[in-house]
Structure 1
Amino acid sequence: MSGDLDALTRLVTAFRDARDWAQFHSLRNLIVSLNLEAGELLELTQWKTDAEIATLPDDLHGREALEDECADVLLYLLLIADKAGIDLDAATRAKLAKNEAKYPVARFRGSRRKYDAAD
């Protein structure tokens, strides 16, 4: 894991361990919690137009809500990776390489189609 992600993971696990919460952090519970937090991030967009959503980062309360929910998602992702022994830096780089092969620039630049869709 990269230094920054490793340092963040140590902070998160120290916070968890100081409260004796690891006992509740099964892989299933962490994955469920990540999705609940992602739902809270999604909730920030509910009933809003694209224009209203685009202004969230510029609004003091909107930005704070975005920051909090993004942080919550990252916290659970770090805990999932720690629990499963996943090096997020290496896994992300490997996934980018796979995506690079699936979505070559010459064929997909400016396109939203999936890699297995007909041209």
Structure 2
Amino acid sequence: MSESTRTAARGAAFWICYAVTVISAGVSVTFSVLAVVDGGLEATDALYAASRSTALVVLALVAPLFRSDDALLAIAAAMTIVQGIDTFVGAVQGDVAKTVGPAVLCLVTIVAATFLARSDRVRGRA
């Protein structure tokens, strides 16, 4: 494989993981804000969820400014955990949409993060 092909693959791994992580964080913050809107300021749990989701989406959005693979992988891991727990909550509630959607995002995030983690950039083989 030529050097330019390897460089392109390493860059693609970062941007694919970034896109999937931002989508996952964006979906999470959207649902938590909708829960706040639905429940008003009395919905304390929704307010806490919105604050944490907002922090994750901001971190995901600024990751490219630093081009830190490790930071992006940490955010992707956090979003995998969030979506995994959301899958469990949806299953417990018996809501198919709240189970399948987060499960798909969880799996896609795992694949994208694995793609980045296994790229030559992260493993030190530039």
TM-score by length of 2: 0.35
Using the size of structure 1 for normalisation, the TM-score is 0.37
Which structure dedicates a bigger proportion of its chain to helix?
A: 2
If asked which structure has higher relative contact order (CA below 8 Å, sep 6+), I would say 1
In our comparison, the structure showing a higher alpha carbon Rg is: 1
